Copies of this chain bind each other. A is one copy, B any other.
């Protein structure tokens, strides 16, 4: 079998961890987790957004997002209200306090990202991202066959 530590999932996991390790201390200094930061960042790009769409954008599962939104709302970093047309849906937006927090974290975050880009090379980084997108795209329709025993 393939040398385990050289498998694609492990390579991706280690690379991502190497990157995130750079950002976590700064986020932590501002009382934010990586996922909370993703949500706030996603909210800055829109006026309002529905929860389901936010989950897709921030790449979080529904249950995780539910919990985090509850906390962010309690900390008054985001605002939430139910849609008028459809009482099932909730629309979320970032608050003034949330925006201020973003502005406080952004400079450090940008500096770290710039340093990563400098070390790896902007062109190479772009190539890497293209390959990652192609990989994701290539597997998009591969779900179907749950190829295994013990299946109903």
**Which residues of A are interface residues toward B (Cβ below 8 A)?**
1-23, 25-26, 29-30, 34, 38, 41-42, 44-45, 57, 59, 106, 108, 110-113, 115-116, 119-120, 124-125, 127-129, 131-136, 138-140, 142-143, 146-151
Contact = CB atoms under 8 A, between A and B. Distances in A.
B59 A139 contact: no
A1 B139 contact: no
A128 B17 CA distance: 16
Contacts of A111: 147
A115 to B, nearest CB: 7
With a 10 A CB-CB cut-off, give which of A2, A135, A151 has the most chain B CB atoms. Answer: A135
Given A23-B9, A120-B134, A4 B125 contact: no
Given A7-B113, A18-B135, A120-B135, 15 more contacts: A1-B41, A3-B45, A5-B57, A8-B116, A8-B129, A11-B132, A15-B135, A15-B136, A19-B135, A25-B146, A26-B147, A30-B148, A108-B147, A111-B147, A119-B138
